[in-house]
Amino acid sequence: MDSKIGIAGLIFVLVLVGCKKDWDEHYNTMVPTSNVNVWDALQKDESLSSFVNYLKEYKYDTLFLTNNTYTIFAPDNEAFTEFLASRSVNKAVLDYHISTFFIQSGAIQGNRKIQTLAEKFALFVNDPLGIFLDDVPIEFESPLYKNGKYFKLNKVALPKPNLYEYISATNPVLKRYIDSQDSIIVDKELSRPIGFDEYGNTIYDTVAIIYNEFEEEFFPVKEEFRYQTATIVFPKEENYNNALTNMAISMNCGYNDYKDIPMEWQDEILIPYLLEHGIFENMVEQEEFLEETVKDTVKMKNILGDSIVIDYVPAEKTICSNGYAYNYQDFEVPDTLYAAPTRMEAEVLTRDAGGNRYFWNDDVTVINDVSYSPFQEFISGASNDSILKVNFTKGYKGRFSVEFNVDNLFPRKYLMVFRTHMYVGGVYEIYVNDVLVKTMDYYEYVPNRGVIYSVTGKRYLPQGSYNKFDCWLENLTEYGKAKIRIVYTGPSTVLYNGLVLDYIEFIPN
């Protein structure tokens, strides 16, 4: 028994001795470079003499007289020779190669944004392919010195633009769009109450700030953060303009190139579409966009949280200080944005007053001898499950007309299709921009057993109690809103007279 206790005690002593040795080696053994100033180490490396001389020229050597810690990304002499062939060294370039944070490559896996003296964020990457600062390979990592360490680069890294700076340089149309979203608002937190008006309302010494709706909705492209980034896919200026030119020619409406495409349409339709399909959270790598099979397209969530289909290939990835920017590999304006039919639901002409009561919208002009109220009737099978309806008294022969504008249309020929109810009607004249384009008698439904002939020669067959009639719209001379006026000229032989509209559709011809 005593011998077992003795053996156990011997083992315990040996373990203690071994642990103390490991402890001393780990904590008490001095790293050979731990008392060396990193500046002295830089000066002794002959391959970095150009970088050292520039640091001296711009007085950066004084940084290392303090107790602050620095990580230095030092381009070698060959890197400066290549760089000076087309550029010059300035303070901004040097600032981008120095960080006030201590960086150990082994502590970083993947991507990490690091802040530099330039107050720009550089992208430090440690992956199976190697270690990089932005896209520049790191060819050497020094040991730890008492006030920092350094990495060697084989190229001079340049401060990266933020996303707004990149957009400003590559597509002035998008820059103008972002700038146009600026609004001046009152900052209530900074504003100071100074009294009351005669009605008891507080009067403020107001402080106004600029509020950008684009940055609030999508991403603050002008700002830079350590952990917040975005990816923007948007065509560069040349690609964008070429696509608009192709669109202009294909429309066959008198447009010749991108300059003819109205900026209003770009701001209202095209640019919002591209933003919704091209802005994502974080730095999205190119392979995440690629199609899995020939017939399959990738679905992704955009920065708004909406699921979208990626039917394009991003190209030319650019690393920015607050994200990635991509161009399109092949950009064409989707024809669904300009060649597809557009529809106006008729019920949008009214507003709900509550209690099943409706009024005409303020931008709708109504002329009548008797005030007939409009209402929305919710019917399964109608477009959007509702229709606009106005009922007249039997045999009404007074005045009634309703005038309104439809959404902007390009100046080309359209087939204008009205979907309406078969059993409520009258005789109507339809005007577009004050030109009579159609006279419609709802009685035509009866002798033709509900069949109406289109101006194209085809037949509109009834769908339950609904049918369609149409006319050509040819008097649009410029991009803008078309003014529609529907004028009641008298009763038809149908039992019930009034106005019923489900929708009006404009089909490009």
Give the pLDDT confidence score for residue 24 in this predicted structure: 44
- With a cut of 50, list the residues of the chain below it in pLDDT: 1, 4, 10-30
How many residues does the structure list for the chain? 509
Give ranges for CATH 2.30.180.10 in the chain: 38-153
Rounded to 5 degrees, φ, ψ at 166 are -65, -45
- Give the residue among 395, 397, 374, 377 at the shortest CA–CA distance from 386: 377
Positive or negative torsion for Cα 104, 110, 115, 118: positive
Q: Identity (one letter) of the amino acid at 24?
A: D
Place of tokens 């994502």: 280
Give ranges for CATH 2.60.120.260 in the chain: 342-508
What's the gap between Cα 245 and its chain centre? 23
Give the pLDDT confidence score for residue 11 in this predicted structure: 46
Q: What is the DSSP string of 189-246?
A: TT-EEEEE-TTSPEEEE--EEEEEHHHHHT--TT---SS--EEEE---HHHHHHHHHH
Give the pLDDT confidence score for residue 298 in this predicted structure: 74
Residues forming beta bridges with residue 424, ordered by sequence position? 496
> What dotted CATH number matches 225-336?
2.30.180
- Give the residue among 490, 502, 464 at the shortest CA–CA distance from 392: 490
Residues forming beta bridges with residue 264, ordered by sequence position? none
Please state, as a whole number, how many other Cβ atoms lie within 10 Å of the Cβ of residue 199. Answer: 5
* Whole-number Å distance between alpha carbons of 252 and 17: 91
Give all strands (DSSP E) within 332-482, no chain letters: 342-345, 350-354, 357-360, 365-368, 375-378, 386-391, 400-405, 414-421, 424-425, 427-432, 435-441, 452-453, 459-460, 466-473
Q: Give, in degrees to the nearest 5, the angle at Cα 168 between 96 and 275.
A: 110
Q: Which CATH architecture has domain 342-508?
A: Sandwich (2.60)
Q: pTM value?
A: 0.77
> What dotted CATH number matches 38-153?
2.30.180.10
